[in-house]
């Protein structure tokens, strides 16, 4: 089993949206980056675990855990001329873009904010925390997964004097 992280802007699709979806499952469509596509198409498999991250949010951070319930298959939003993610170059005979199905497993006991994750030394190499990292689908190592999961069970560390 492998581990991943996906980003979503809660204004577009939030963790709550996922929990409220039928069977708490959604098609992870609209990915239009080749690196992210390759990971979804080639390496993401049913049963893999996925952190759900809110970007462009208040706060930004990891909010929940979901599970891959269906391996990659062609992204139908690329075929729909009315869809925001329509791509005329992607055809049903030779699809350019792929999606997986994700199901919400559980909300984390608390949000792990980007600011907090940045302060954890052992997460220094985590893809999410790399300078300029913009990939919307990222690999997470097993040790990173375990570190983040354990952190979510503890109360937030006290911030510097003056912080709220």
Partner DNA sequence: GCCAACGTTGGC
Question: Of the candidates 1, 105, 115, 156, which one interacts with DNA according to CB under 7 A?
Answer: 115
By the rule CB under 7 A, 119 interacts with DNA: no
Q: Least distance to DNA from the beta carbon of 54, Å?
A: 8
By the rule CB under 7 A, 56 interacts with DNA: yes
Q: Please answer whether residues 100 and 153 qualify as being in contact, where contact means their C-beta atoms are separated by less than 8 angstroms.
A: no
Question: Of the candidates 5, 7, 51, 140, which one interacts with DNA according to CB under 7 A?
Answer: 7
% helix / strand / coil in the chain, to the nearest 5?
30, 30, 40
From residue 15 to residue 54, what is the string marking binding to DNA with x (rule CB under 7 A)?
-----------------xxxx-------------------
Q: Please answer whether residues 116 and 61 qualify as being in contact, where contact means their C-beta atoms are separated by less than 8 angstroms.
A: yes
Q: Please answer whether residues 36 and 135 qualify as being in contact, where contact means their C-beta atoms are separated by less than 8 angstroms.
A: yes
Q: Least distance to DNA from the beta carbon of 55, Å?
A: 4
By the rule CB under 7 A, 131 interacts with DNA: yes
By the rule CB under 7 A, 69 interacts with DNA: no
User: Using CA atoms, how far apart are residues 91 and 2, in angstroms rounded to an integer?
Assistant: 30
By the rule CB under 7 A, 136 interacts with DNA: yes
By the rule CB under 7 A, 143 interacts with DNA: no
**Residues near DNA, by CB under 7 A:** 7, 9, 32-35, 55-57, 60, 114-115, 118, 131-136
């Amino acid at each position: 089993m492998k581990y991943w992280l996906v980003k979503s802007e809660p204004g577009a699709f939030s963790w709550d949206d996922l929990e409220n979806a039928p069977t708490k499952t959604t098609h992870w469509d609209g990915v239009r980056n080749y690196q992210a596509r390759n990971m979804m198409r080639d390496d993401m498999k049913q049963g893999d675990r996925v952190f759900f991250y809110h970007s462009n949010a208040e706060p930004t951070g990891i909010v929940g855990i979901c599970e891959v319930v269906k391996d990659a298959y062609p992204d139908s939003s690329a075929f729909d001329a009315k869809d925001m993610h329509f791509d005329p170059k992607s055809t049903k005979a030779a699809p350019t873009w792929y999606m997986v199905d994700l199901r919400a497993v559980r909300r984390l006991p608390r949000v792990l904010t980007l600011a907090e994750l940045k302060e954890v030394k052992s997460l220094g190499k985590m893809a999410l925390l790399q300078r300029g990292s913009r990939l919307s689908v990222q690999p997470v190592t097993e040790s990173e997964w375990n570190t983040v999961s354990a952190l979510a069970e503890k109360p937030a560390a006290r911030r510097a004097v003056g912080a709220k």
